[in-house]
Amino acid sequence: MACVRLLGPARPAWVFQEAGRRSSVAVDGVLAFNHAGAALQAGAGRFDWTRASAGLFRPHVNTSFSTLSEDGSPTTLVLDRVDEHPCRPGIEQFSLVFHGPAAAVGYGIYTVRHAALGEFDIFLAPVRARGDRASYEACVSRHVGRSERA
């Protein structure tokens, strides 16, 4: 099972995914969103969060990820950096920081597409705006199996 921690100034949330099962979002401990897990299953161009790692995203720094903005228009976010946040053995935590147009996306779950990684749903939170540009962050936490540990 993969768990994506969603951080924002107001309400932390969590996304849970298990391959072939339902995916859910919990905000403040309350289930806020639930849909058929088939939309997040690996294969058919969908990214498999159960295999997500900082190392997997790092080669894609300075590449474009496309999504739809809050008003439904296409927008491009560029992966600026991947920050690792080690906490304890068996848990991998990292954040993805994107740059893009200001107010392109608000707090919420967006379907994001990348040429090499495929398509995936992720919670994005605006973290800083300067003029017509902004930074957006997605925080990821997942259990790492013994075979994956360094």
Higher confidence at residue 140 or residue 42? 140
Average pLDDT over residues 29-54: 52
What tokens were used for 4? 């994506």
- In this predicted structure, the answer to whether residue 103 has a pLDDT above a threshold of 90 is no
